[in-house]
Structure 1
Amino acid sequence: MASCLPRPSWSETARPVAVVWILLALVLAFACYFATRQLADVAGAAAFFAEDGPVETLQAGLVGLAGLVFLLGFRRSGDAKAIFCLGMAVVMGLAMQREIPNCASAYYDEGVCLPATGKAVFVGLLFVGALICLAVKRPRLWSFFNPRNLLWAWPAGISLAMLLLAEVAEHRLAQDMEELLELAAYLHLLAFSVWTARLPARHSCLFACRA
Structure 2
Amino acid sequence: MPKAASRHSLAGRGEPAGGARSWRIGDRPSARRWLIGSVVGVGLGLVFAAASDALSVSDAFFDENGPIESLQALLLAVTTLVFCWSAWRSTDSKAFFSLCMAGASFVATLREVPRCGGPYAAGDLCVPQTDKDIALAIVGLAILLVMGFSRWNWRDVLDLRNLRYVWITGLSALTLALAEIAERVHLPRVEESVELVAYALLAIVALRLVARIRD
TM-score w.r.t. the length of structure 2 is: 0.85
Identity percentage over the alignment? Answer: 30
The answer to whether the 8 Å contact 1:59/1:186 transfers is: yes
Which AA in structure 1 matches 2:199?
Y
Shift, 1:44, TM fit? 5.2
User: Aligned residue for 1:149?
Assistant: 162
User: Aligned residue for 2:86?
Assistant: 73
User: Aligned residue for 1:139?
Assistant: 152
Structure 1 unaligned residues grouped into runs of 5+: 203-211
Distance 1:154 1:136, change over 3 A: same
The answer to whether the 8 Å contact 1:49/1:176 transfers is: yes
User: Aligned residue for 2:183?
Assistant: 170
Query: How many correspondences in the alignment?
Result: 201
Distance 2:99 2:91 in 1: 11
Higher relative contact order (CA 8 A, sep 6+): 1
* Runs of 4+ residues deviating >4 angstroms: 41-44
Distance 1:144 1:200, change over 3 A: closer
Alignment partner of 1:86 is 2:99? yes
What are the equivalent positions in structure 2 for 1:1-211 lying under 5 Å apart?
3-4=14-15, 5=19, 7-9=21-23, 11-12=24-25, 14-42=27-55, 45-110=58-123, 112-202=125-215
Distance 1:111 1:191 in 2: 31
Shift, 1:55, TM fit? 1.7
The answer to whether the 8 Å contact 2:27/2:212 transfers is: no
Distance 2:133 2:181 in 1: 28
The answer to whether the 8 Å contact 1:13/1:152 transfers is: no
User: Aligned residue for 1:207?
Assistant: none
Distance 1:55 1:75 in 2: 30
The answer to whether the 8 Å contact 1:8/1:149 transfers is: no
Distance 2:213 2:135 in 1: 32
Shift, 1:137, TM fit? 2.9
Residues 36-81 of structure 1, C-alpha deviations (whole Å, 9 max, x = no match): 1111154553101112222222111111111111111111221111
| Aligned-pair Cα RMSD in Å | 2.0
Distance 2:83 2:173 in 1: 16
